[in-house]
Structure 1
């Protein structure tokens, strides 16, 4: 299957993508991983992306599309893939259609993880990260530390990262609504979208997504 996973920041796309890709035996292709891999390997696309990033500029769609195209053409993606974070806007969605069409392929489904905006803010703004080890992450509501503001693992101070602040989260949501949300209507016109309620236990959300794919 060839699937696109969409949803606002904080909807749990990364978590669901990993579970779905495993269940379907297809690779999980995320934009973040693509950038990191290309930059660390020193590919031409990676060098181009890094030059824009180092200058504090947005990486052009052409570079992102090139990375995604290269990854989708790898042998492990021959029988399908799950795209997470790509396409991010209408021009990328149109480019993806062209790439697949040229290969005689098409998308099978688009899964839209649906979460209310206030819940997104609550999920992200409630995160607290250990200053000693950023892998130690807690949540004031869903996974609180035993002692407020103290890491259970090493006793380090817990703090709220700048990109987890409510103002930053709401700005990210505004960008999502303006740039990414339009691709949902684009794919709805193709009859590809299944809306998945993303509240509840991770396993329950995965089950809803798998049920939608079976249909």
Structure 2
């Protein structure tokens, strides 16, 4: 099963991907997590990415595509994977399609977590407050001003992948403003329909 979760920052992609990983035993390929790991390790890619991320900017396509290409080849991704945070642009979507085609693979579905963006800042502020009260570090990109920059970048760049996948007949839409459990249930319904159509 190879799928993409798409939606603006704070839509719940990471949460839903985590549940799918637990249920299906396939890895979540989160470019954000991989980039944060590279930043923490101080790698050249990580140092270059850190300045961009800290200012709410997107990392260039070539860096992200290279990370994903390498990751898909690892053993745990051979039965499938969940992409979270990639592709962010039509250019990345094209690169992903070419990459998979060259490997004899294809996507099964793209699930959009559709949300009310006016309520997302409140959701992010709550996430930051919950992390702080639990004694966990607050993500730099959870700062409200940085988050607004990420949301603007999403709307300018990433949102265009939704019609791209809709045109390809791969898009399924789930209401991301529901409870986490209801979103999970709706995602499972999409995946169950895939199984029936195989």
TM-score, scaled to structure 1:
0.77
SS of 1:130's equivalent?
A: helix
Give RMSD over aligned pairs.
Answer: 2.6
SS of 1:79's equivalent?
A: coil
TM-score, scaled to structure 2:
0.83
Which structure is richer in relative contact order (CA contacts within 8 A, separation 6 or more)?
2
Are 2:39 and 2:50, in contact at CA under 8 Å, matched by a contact in 1?
Answer: no
Q: How does 1:1-215 map to 2 (within 5 A)?
A: 1-38=1-38, 46-47=43-44, 49-53=45-49, 56=52, 59-126=59-126, 127-128=128-129, 129-130=131-132, 133-135=135-137, 163-165=142-144, 167-215=145-193
Count of aligned pairs between the two proteins: 187
Are 2:36 and 2:46, in contact at CA under 8 Å, matched by a contact in 1?
Answer: no
Are 1:53 and 1:59, in contact at CA under 8 Å, matched by a contact in 2?
Answer: yes
The separation in 1 between residues aligned to 2:51 and 2:61, in whole angstroms, is 16
Structure 1 gap ranges (5+): 138-160
Are 2:116 and 2:177, in contact at CA under 8 Å, matched by a contact in 1?
Answer: no
Change in 2 beyond 3 A, CA 1:205/1:58: closer
The separation in 1 between residues aligned to 2:80 and 2:141, in whole angstroms, is 37
Greater shift in the superposed pair: 9-18 or 27-36? 27-36
The separation in 2 between residues aligned to 1:75 and 1:41, in whole angstroms, is 23
SS of 2:157's equivalent?
A: helix
Structure 2 gap ranges (5+): 194-198
Are 2:2 and 2:81, in contact at CA under 8 Å, matched by a contact in 1?
Answer: yes
Are 1:52 and 1:58, in contact at CA under 8 Å, matched by a contact in 2?
Answer: no
Greater shift in the superposed pair: 121-130 or 54-63? 54-63
The separation in 2 between residues aligned to 1:180 and 1:58, in whole angstroms, is 10
Q: From the two aligned structures, give the one with the greater helix fraction.
A: 2
